[in-house]
Amino acid sequence: MNEKFNKKAVGSRFKQYREQSGLTQETLAEKVGLSPNYISAIERGVNFPSLEKLILIINEIGATADQIFTDVIKNTYQTRASFLSEKVESLPFDEQQRIFAVVETMILEAYKRL
């Protein structure tokens, strides 16, 4: 794998899902047996938890491994499409239409280059 593991991007997603779940760093730290400072370091991409703690954190924040590692693990098409579909569904209808128009244009352009 030539791509470098981007701990900052992964940490940012930890923070995003923690905040969406309504947890503070302190509350999450207490639930998973880590210090708030360590949770902060994970979210900033400075540290990375052990596998055991990683699983606990992902479960507590209500995320999936696919969501946290979306740009790290080579996802299947279906997993990636599902993730993007969930994101688009949460947007207002007008924004959804704009995104679909852009994607359709990009697909048509890609076919022209084949």
Q: pLDDT for 7-34, tens place per residue?
A: 999 999 999 999 999 999 999 999 999 9
Q: pTM to 2 decimals?
A: 0.64
Give residue 12's domain range.
Answer: 7-68
pLDDT given for residue 31 in this prediction: 97
User: In Å, what is the CA distance from 73 to each residue of 4, 59, 113?
Assistant: 11, 18, 28
Q: Looking at residues 63-92, what average pLDDT do you find? A: 82
CATH classification of the domain holding 56 = 1.10.260.40
What's the domain count of the chain?
Answer: 2
pLDDT of residue 56: 97
Q: Residue 79 has what pLDDT? A: 74
Per-residue confidence (pLDDT) for residue 76, from 0 to 100 = 58
Residue 2 placed within a domain: no
Half-sphere exposure of 82 (CA within 13 A, CB side): 9
Average pLDDT over the chain reads 90
CA distance 105 to 111: 10
| 57 and 30 within one domain | yes
Q: What is the mean pLDDT of residues 33-48?
A: 97
